[in-house]
Structure formats: structure tokens, C-alpha cells
Amino acid sequence: MSVSYKVGTVKSKQSPNVNTQPKAPVVKGVKTTGKKKDEEEGIDTADGEEWMQGKTLVKPPDQLDLTEEELKEEITRVLTANNPNAPQNVVRYSFKEGCYKTIVFVDQMAIHFELEGNLVHKESDEGRRLMAKHTEREDCGGDERLENVPIKPGKREQKVTNQFNFIDRASQTLNNLPREISCQTEPPPRANFSATANQWEIYDFYVEELQRREKSKEKQESQFPNKEEDRSKKKMIQAEAQSDDISQLAKPAEIIERMVNQNIFDEVAQDFMYFEDAADEFRGEKGTLLPLWKFQYDKAKGLSVTALCWNHIYSDLFAVGLGSYEFTQQERGMLLFYTLKNPSFPEFIFNTDSGVMCVDIHEQLSYLVAVGLYDGCVSVYDLRKKSDQPMYNSIASSGKHTGAVWQVKWQKDDLDSNHNFFSVSTDGRVVSWTLVKHEIVFTDIIKLPPVDKVPDDLKNVVATAGTSLDFHKQKDHHFLVGTEAGKIHKGSKYYSSKFLEMYDAHFMTVSCVRWNPFHPNVFISCGWDWMVKIWDHTINSPVFTFELKSSVTDVAWSPHSSTVFAAVTADGKVHVFDLSINKYEALCQQKVVSKKTRLLHIEFNPVHPIIIVGDDRGRVISLKLSPNLRKKPKEKKGQELPKGPEVEIAKMEQLLSSLR
């Protein structure tokens, strides 16, 4: 019940027309201010009058004291229907005038009491709904349940709660305590994997794949014989895995050794490649030999170098044959192969029972090495095989020499394409050996004619020792043999009974004969009688003769020039001649070894301008030829210098013709 009271406390003095007396508000009761005095005055005054007549006037202490005039003043009171609580100064902004304007009409309605009814009109939606529900409830127990079932879910509405009597009751179920159950397994083992996929890895993989496919193809083609092979292969593989790891390191170890050597002999290597003695310009014609590497093997110390041979295919590889020239001191022998890349240790080492006297490396198949021994055996080694044993060996029954073999030379393959080589020895026979499958077969070519000094009846017994053998470069059926007696015989492979020519070369043993590599007619010979002689094979007497101050042990032509040759003597000197420059004197006479060491062999390198000399202490020394020793004929300005063997031949020819 809302009742609005007039708040204002208007105290008004009552008009005296009514016999009212100022009341004592205390007498009336509690709610003095809230009452409209006009309405309740009548009732109260009636009561008050009766009560008050017997008493004096009581004035409240705070009553206004007014004068008589003031008391008579008439005050009008108006009764309006205005809501005293309604605001009287509502202001609204007027957009039209752009200012605030007071609103005249303000809602004066005051609501004292409000009650919402629950009557619903029959025709309204809600009314209809309720009607339907009502009828629904009545029919609930009837046979129309089936019809209602589909209807029910559609008509399910929210239950309308009773506003007065509704009780919401909640209950809480017992909630089980939440429990955590977890299970931990052992994590799967982890491994870090990282890999790179480079171009080369892909390439490698493809190569392997290809190989695998090929192998599988092979297997498919031939299955039976492979079974046994597989077994043996398996054994092999197992054995390899068990053996110590570092056997694979052979190649890297070799490389490192060479690198280390290169560092140690760095200056030598640089000299070998690049050094050209500038002082040669001031020396006139003379030249020098620059010592490069020294090759020494400590197990070969007691032996002398008996043979030297360069490999034609690998121009840094050479063979050294070691043995002894002393008749009394015959022990073992060795065959060593050195390379310029590794001067400290030989590449291949072969031990032989008797001293090696001569070595020759096949020109095309540089793994075939023929060796002649002091005991008359000839052997052929195959460098591809790792064994110490020769591939072929001649034994007594197969016609080996009865004396030391002094020279072996490979020949071109014969008509059956078997390899063959020639040998000459102290027993005076020149023998050709042919390698047939696993055997070595000998063929006597010719026997050296006996020396004149030998008495006739002993001629068949005492053989003429052949000490040197050389085949002509172009017409290889021609060959020269030097003998111990100092004679040189020219023979031919096709004539087995007789020699074509004989030259009275030296007074003592002929130590070496060699054909000139360019000129077809010229050969050189040297002997222990201190002489070096150059011959034209058509002429019986030497074309050039040089006397060196000591017995000449070896002589060699230079492969670059037809007029250059070098000789070594027993006093340790190397003599280099160039006939096109100086016909009488050596351009260089240099002592390369210490006293009392004899130089025994000399060889020119086919490619590089170096020579190797072997001495009787088992050492091999390499020397570089200075520019003066390798001179080519001067070019005239503007003219192109013709190169080739023809030039060399022409040079020689010129020389020879000048002498005739």
C-alpha cells in the first residue's frame, strides 16, 4: 500500500470562526505532522473540546507567537490533484530551438497500489494454451494416450511454477572424490639420428644399388657353382673382419710416407722440378750435374749396384739390381725398385739367392721384370704380385746359363704373342727365353765365336764371355754383343751360325755397347781400357774415340738428343759429352762420389733431365743435368725449330759426314 504523504509541514493558524482552540499536539498522538489537519480536525476537536474545557490553554513551546492581525489573516488553501512527488522542472533539449526548454506537462500520476491479476482472457494465446493443457490433463488416463505420445514431445513446455507455493528443493548427491590414476611406461629407447644427403651420398647409393643389381643378375644366371664360391667367400669375409683393422691402411700409409718425404726433401724436389743453373751462361760450354736424391737401402750396403733400369711407363720408378762383381765374394742379391717420390725406402724388394747381374723392364708391360743372376739363372718377376718369388725361373734342366748372365733384354712379343727376352752370359751363348704359360723355354740363338788367343783344341771348351748385349731400336733383329776379349760382334736373330760383323773395339773387356736411339747406324762402346768409342756400324773403325782417365764402367745415350751421351768411370766421375757442341772434350766431368767408390752404372731418365748412377756401395745417386748439357740447337729468329727424331738423325749425320 503506497501512500504518499505530504511532506511539507505547513503549520497554519486556524481561523477563529470555528471554535477551535490551538491544540496541544501532544494530546493528539504520535503522527502529528503527517496528518491533514483539515480532515481530522473535526473529529479531534470534538474530542479535544470536551477534554479541554476543564483545563487551561497549554502552549507548545515552539508554537509561533502571532499578533491578532496575523491571526485574522485569511489563508486560502487549495486542493489540487497534482502529484507532489512529480518533478516540476523537467527540462528537455529542443533541437528546433537549440536550447533547453521546460516541459509543461509532466506526468502527475502517482500510483499508490498495484496488483497484478492472474486472470487470462480466454481468446488470448495463453488462454488457449492453458485450455489445452487443462483438457490434456483430463484425458491423460484415457485411450487417447497413443495419440498424445507423438504430441507430447512437441507440446512439452516449461513447467509453469506456482508463484506462491513453489518450493525448489535441491539435493546434493555424494560426489566421489576425484582420484588420479596414472600409468607410466618406460619410454621407448631413443636414439639421435642425423644424416646428410649430399650429392655424393646419393651418387654412392646409386652406385651400390647398381652393383647389387648386377650381382643379383649374375646369381640368377648361375646359381650352382656359386654355392661353393659363396662358402669360401664367407670364410674369407670372416677372416678379414677378424684380422686387425689397420691392414686397410696400406695406401694411406704409403701416401703419408711420401708426403713426409716430400717435406724432408722439399728443396731437392723443388730443384728437381724447377732449378736451372743460371751460372751455366757464364761457363761457356761446360755444364754441371746437380746432385738430387740419394737412394740407399741399409740391407743392401754390402752389395754393388749391378744394374739400373728406368720404367718407361712410370717415369719416376726405376729398378736397381744388386749383387757383387767379385768372384770370391758371392752371396745373395737383391732387386729393388725405387720411386723418386719416396727416396727413403724402396717400393719393391726382392731377395735373390745369388747376385743380380742385370735387370730389364718390359717396355709396354712394365710389371714384367727380367733378371739375370750370377749363377746363370734368369727369372721373371711380376710386380703385380705381392710375393717374393719370381713368376718364372730357369733351372738347370731348362737350359740355363752356365755362367753369370750379363745382360737381359726384352723383345717384342713373338708370333704367338708370348713374351720373350734375350740373355747373354759368360758361357758365350746368346739365348732367347720365351714365356709360355707357366714355363720358360729357351732357344739358343747363337754362340759367340772363340777368341783367337785360345789354342785350337780348347776352343770348344773355353767360351767367350759375352758381357754386353744391345738390340737395334728400329731393326730389332740386329744386335750387338760385347765380349770379355774386347771384341764387339754384330749379329742377327735370323742367322744363328755366324755373326755379321766383328769389331776390334777394346783391349780389355767391353763393359757396354749401345745403339744410338736416333741414328740407325751409330753405336757406342766402352771398356775397361779407359776408352769410349763411337762407331758407325758400316765402318770397321771407330768414328770417335775418347780416353777417360780411368776404366769406363758404363755409358749411356741421352734419350733427348742424338749427340749427347754420358759415361761413368771407376774413379767416381761422370763424364757428359755433347758431340754437336764439342767433339773432343767432355762438357762435364764431375766427381759425384767420395774416394774409393767406383761408379758402376748410369742411366738417363726417359722423361726428366736427370741421370742415376749406381756405385759399388749399393747406393744410387740421382743428378740433374744443367741446361748446358741439354742444349738444343739454336733457333734462328723467325724460323720454327723442327722437332723430332729426324732432326736428331740429321744432326748426327752432319757430324759423321764432317769426319769422313
Partner 1 sequence: MAEVEDTLKRIQAQHGVIGTIVVNGEGIPIRTTLDNSTSVQYAGLLHQLTMKARSAVRDIDPQNELTFLRIRSKKHEIMVAPDKEYLLIAIQNPSE
| Positions that interact with partner 1 (CB under 8 A) | 196, 198-200, 202-204, 243-257, 259-261, 263-264, 266-267, 344-345
Nearer to partner 1, 266 or 326 (CB): 266
Q: Closest approach of Cβ 179 to partner 1, in Å?
A: 50
DSSP annotation of 629: G
DSSP annotation of 106: -
Q: What is the CA radius of gyration of the chain?
A: 69
What distance in Å separates the CA atoms of residue 329 and residue 283, rounded to the nearest whole number? 44
What distance in Å separates the CA atoms of residue 544 and residue 283, rounded to the nearest whole number? 25
Q: Closest approach of Cβ 605 to partner 1, in Å?
A: 25
Q: Closest approach of Cβ 264 to partner 1, in Å?
A: 5
Q: Closest approach of Cβ 613 to partner 1, in Å?
A: 24
Q: Closest approach of Cβ 196 to partner 1, in Å?
A: 7
The three-state secondary structure class of 256 is helix
What distance in Å separates the CA atoms of residue 187 and residue 468, rounded to the nearest whole number? 85
Dig out the grid coordinates for 159 from the structure: 513447467
What distance in Å separates the CA atoms of residue 71 and residue 73, rounded to the nearest whole number? 5
Q: Closest approach of Cβ 262 to partner 1, in Å?
A: 9
DSSP annotation of 204: H
Nearer to partner 1, 151 or 253 (CB): 253
- Look at phi and psi of residue 528 and say left if phi exceeds 0, alpha if psi is from -120 to 50, else beta: alpha
Strand pairing partners for 33?
A: none
What distance in Å separates the CA atoms of residue 644 and residue 640, rounded to the nearest whole number? 13
Contacts of 111 (CB under 8 A, 6+ apart): 2
Q: Closest approach of Cβ 259 to partner 1, in Å?
A: 5
Nearer to partner 1, 256 or 500 (CB): 256
H or E, element range at 658? helix 645-659
Nearer to partner 1, 338 or 530 (CB): 338
DSSP annotation of 246: G
Nearer to partner 1, 88 or 243 (CB): 243
What distance in Å separates the CA atoms of residue 191 and residue 169, rounded to the nearest whole number? 62
Q: Closest approach of Cβ 266 to partner 1, in Å?
A: 6
Contacts of 590 (CB under 8 A, 6+ apart): 288, 289, 573, 574
Dig out the grid coordinates for 442 from the structure: 729357351
Q: Closest approach of Cβ 389 to partner 1, in Å?
A: 17
Residues 69-73: contacts with CB under 8 Å, at least 24 apart: 70/13, 71/13, 71/16, 72/16
Instruction: Give all strands (DSSP E) within 46-181, no chain letters.
Output: 91-94, 99-102
Nearer to partner 1, 136 or 347 (CB): 347
Nearer to partner 1, 111 or 250 (CB): 250
Nearer to partner 1, 344 or 398 (CB): 344
Nearer to partner 1, 40 or 209 (CB): 209
- The alpha-helical segments, DSSP class H, found in 191-321 are 199-221, 224-242, 250-264, 266-274
Q: Closest approach of Cβ 507 to partner 1, in Å?
A: 48
Nearer to partner 1, 202 or 659 (CB): 202
